[in-house]
Chains A and B, each alone.
Chain A
Amino acid sequence: MKLASTRALVALVLGGVLTLGAFLGTFFWAGVPDFGFVRVAGHTDSVRYQGPFEQKIDEARYLANYVGYEAEIEADGESYAGRVVEADESRVVVGTDTGDAGAPKDTIAVADITSAVVRGSEYGRPDWGQKIFYFHVPVAEISFLVFALAAFYGIRFIMTRKREFDTRARISMEVTLTFVSLTMMTGILWTRAAWGVWWEWEPRLTTYFIMTLLVIGYFVLRNAVEDEERRALYAAAFSILAFIDAPISFFITRLIPSNHPVIERGGLEPPMLVSFIVAQIGMILLGYAIYQLRMGETMLKDRIEHAKTLLER
């Protein structure tokens, strides 16, 4: 009893250190991947510098987006080169040097332009949102794992009818609820950062949302049944039925076209992979710790109740 709670505390501390360490560590050794790129007119030194870019403009009115960029414009059989000084829907002003007021400038009507090429520099846009991967994915994985544990203890309870397994199943489900909530929260933050929306009815998100509802439903069901043995049986049966949604949610990104990212085999760089694995181990330890601590608390409560009834006699 005492040993179990000591182990749980050690797991809690170790798991916390590993998860947090892996998460913070990735900022230093795993690097930040680029999330698209930014285009600017001039070259400024930056570690994110990716090189010069050159683009052919399909429609001349888009030149309005490239004020300050180097441009080569063909219009009415003549060619103009220089920086775009001014541009709007109807005309474009091209000069040799934007800094000098007296420098020669050419004004070209947009309607006359037959082709235009603009040049500038490209910089990577750091994808800080990707860092949540080291927290969100391990948490989500563990939520499936503890859900499976809850269903497993549900089956064990139905087979043996021992009260202990019902308690274990209930506490596994509590841990599942914790992890599922964390997954939902981090997931929602990430979708906002990466997709620009808080929520999307997308296969993985939808099935996971359904899983959340099932876990909540489990506790609603438990609270609605008075009789203890009946409550345990119903809860066990429901957890088994509910668990059928978990594999669907887990594999759906591989079955149906989905926006949700998937880790491909060999798709992670070694520093990322190591951080990810450390975070996973840490998260397993955390899950174990929460489970054991709750278990120890429940057992103590039971002992107190038992002692009370003995004293009342």
Chain B
Amino acid sequence: MASLSWRQFRAMLKKDIVMELRTKEMLMSMGLYSLLTMVVYFVALSQAGSAFDPRDIAAGLLWLAFIFTSMLGLNRSLVHEKDQGCLEALLLSPVDRPVIFFGKVTGNLIFLLAVEALTIPVFAFLFLQGETVEVSSLAFVPLVLLAGSIGIAGVGTLLATMSVNTSGKDFILAVLFIPLAYPLLLGTVTATGAAIVGGPDAMHAFWAGMAWVLGYDVIMLLASYGLYEFIVGA
């Protein structure tokens, strides 16, 4: 049976990826959105001149971009499912609900990571040129990205499933998602900031942040997994 769930999971994931590769709607909109965010950052920071160290605010700016971009993507991914009746078909098919949940979460996670991988070099190119960064601790950034994105995708998928059935979809998702993601953001920004700035205490701060993120991931993924079954069928 385990292999059957695994095959179903892979089929769901493949469906999401194929659909995305055909339309490229999510990646395009999320990627463009994050680029536009960089422009807004530039305007917002233009008055500060060189009075601040860009490395200190880099983590906050990056996660700000990720959180808003992810909301856009999460909404898109579920709106597709609903508008084309795909979600109903999935529910009718003999697929376990947890498999649907983890399929959607993994799909969203992959797109989110893709956009993050695209955003970071652009951000570094635009804002961190000529800054000295600690390469040894910088290698830990992908770890935070992965852990943080798992949390975003897990809670976000559940909330987006709820918000597509409400009036005012995007707004509802933002109202529900941002406060719920607050503990996660606190941890990811701490850990990413420590990894970018470096220094003797960097690893301590990094793992303190990671502990928050991992704890959040475990609790929220379990809660979302438990609740998804009831939400998706409603």
Which residues of chain B have C-beta atoms less than 8 A from A241's C-beta? 155, 158, 180, 220, 223-224, 227
| B162 touches A (CB below 8 Å) | yes
Contact A240 B166 (CB under 8 A): no
Which residues of chain B have C-beta atoms less than 8 A from A214's C-beta? 179-180
**Known: A224-B167, A233-B231. Contact between A244 and B220, CB under 8 A?**
yes
Chain B: minimal CB distance from A306 (Å): 25
Contact A233 B234 (CB under 8 A): yes
Chain B: minimal CB distance from A154 (Å): 10
A237 to B158, CA, bound (A): 10
Interface contacts (Cβ under 8 Å), in number, total 69
Chain A: minimal CB distance from B187 (Å): 12
Contact A248 B231 (CB under 8 A): no
Number of interface residues of B (CB under 8 A): 24
Which residues of chain B have C-beta atoms less than 8 A from A230's C-beta? 165, 234
Nearest A residue to B219 via CB reads A244
| A129 touches B (CB below 8 Å) | no
| B52 touches A (CB below 8 Å) | no
Q: Which one of B25-33, B59-67, B79-87, B168-176 is at the A interface?
A: B168-176
Chain B: minimal CB distance from A44 (Å): 50
Contact B223 A224 (CB under 8 A): no
Contact B234 A244 (CB under 8 A): no
| A127 touches B (CB below 8 Å) | no
Which residues of chain B have C-beta atoms less than 8 A from A242's C-beta? 179-180
| A10 touches B (CB below 8 Å) | no
Contact A217 B179 (CB under 8 A): yes
A242 to B182, CA, bound (A): 11
| B183 touches A (CB below 8 Å) | yes
22 A-B Cβ contacts within 8 A?
A158-B230, A206-B182, A207-B182, A214-B179, A214-B180, A216-B175, A217-B175, A217-B176, A217-B179, A220-B172, A220-B175, A221-B175, A225-B166, A226-B167, A230-B234, A234-B162, A234-B165, A237-B158, A241-B180, A242-B180, A245-B179, A245-B180
Known: A234-B234, A242-B179. 6 other contacts (CB 8 A): A158-B230, A221-B162, A221-B176, A224-B172, A233-B234, A244-B223
Q: A: which residues have CB within 8 A of B?
A: 158, 206-207, 210, 213-214, 216-217, 220-221, 224-226, 229-230, 233-234, 237-238, 240-242, 244-245, 248
